[in-house]
Amino acid sequence: MPELPEVETIKLQLNSVLHGLIIKDVRILKPKSFIGSKEDITGEKIIGLRRFAKILVLDFKNGLSLAIHLKMSGQLVYRGKKQPKNLHIADPLLLSLPNKHTRVIVDFSNGDMLFFNDLRIFGWMRIVKSQTSNLKPQNLEGKYIYLDNLVKNLGPEPFKDLTLNVFRKILKLSNKPVKAVLMDQERISGVGNIYANDSLFLSGIHPKRKATELSVYEINKLYVNLLKVLRDGLKWGGASENNFRDAFGEMGKVQEHFYVYGRDKEKCIRCGETIRKIKLGGRGTFFCPVCQP
């Protein structure tokens, strides 16, 4: 699933190409993937892009926004005048769009297009009311929820409001395995399986240890390493071991730098021990039994 670095990668790229574009039409190929009436955003200009944890938001001039969650396998791919030249497209399905996984196509008045592909169809695009706009949506009272309501259950987010103090309090209050706490979007938002696994490895903490039982020293170390893996994740353009592609259809490179994630039965880069894989909260969990006692 795309996590904070993956969605931020897409946000930064789309921010450079979608700003100021006007929606000409929205072609909904899979009704489940689009919530709202496309007429309410047709003709509207994109005035901003934002990200709330894993949710991407396009803001329109009329006070509405389009919130997008990629869930397990979603992709947002831009094709148009501002796409970089010499793209390296490794995925044959992305050489010509739309493809069999395209669920929604956004057409812009200048001919540019945005493709929402989603193999497993868990992702969505949803029209919401944006509270940050000065203009109030006209005649739409009751039709759409506010963006604030959509994101209100998200916990504090790294690089935003997840300070070390807040992080300490969250861990001290939870009796669950530390990895489950890192991934619980209502406690900490934006962190998923990849960055939870790798930050725990760097911190020498077994994923099953109870969050309440971590020492102050371990919590501090985990905080620093969590920010490190997220920052590196963004630097390497996200992790493309599965479906994630960036907004131009290229692969990120984080998978070339995994510490333990996805490295079942391989050797630990620190001590040479064999990396183990277990299930924890239904998710594949990787650790080194020597480095993470």
Shortest distance (Å) from residue 266 CB to Zn ion: 11
- Which residue lies nearer to Zn ion by CB, 245 or 263? 263
Rounded Cα gap, residues 47 and 83, in angstroms: 19
Alpha helices in 82-146 (DSSP H): none
Residue 293 contacts Zn ion per CB under 5 A: no
| Residue 288 within binding range of Zn ion, rule CB under 5 A | yes
Active site residue 289: no
Give the three-state DSSP class for 40.
helix
Residue 8 annotated to the active site: no
Q: Quick check: 235 binds Zn ion (CB under 5 A)? A: no
DSSP designation for 44: P
Nearer to Zn ion, 230 or 260 (CB): 260
Residue 268 interacting with Zn ion (CB under 5 A):
yes
For the bound state, the minimum distance from the C-beta of residue 289 to Zn ion, rounded and expressed in Å, comes to 8
Answer yes or no whether residue 173 interacts with Zn ion by CB under 5 A.
no
CA distance 288 to 286: 7
CA distances in angstroms from 269 to 29, 53, 213, listed in the order given: 45, 30, 27
Grouping H, G, I as helix, E, B as strand and the rest as coil, residue 262 is coil
DSSP assignment letter at 241: S
For Zn ion, the closer CB: 87 or 271 = 271
Least separation in angstroms between residue 268's CB and Zn ion is: 3
Rounded CA separation 36/143 (Å): 8
The residue from 54, 126, 129, 179 that is catalytic is 54
β-partners of residue 76 are 116
User: CB 137 → Zn ion: shortest distance, Å?
Assistant: 54
Using DSSP's 3-state secondary structure scheme, residue 3 falls into coil
**Catalytic positions, please?**
2-3, 54, 283
User: Site residues (CB under 5 A) for Zn ion?
Assistant: 268, 270-271, 273, 288, 290-291
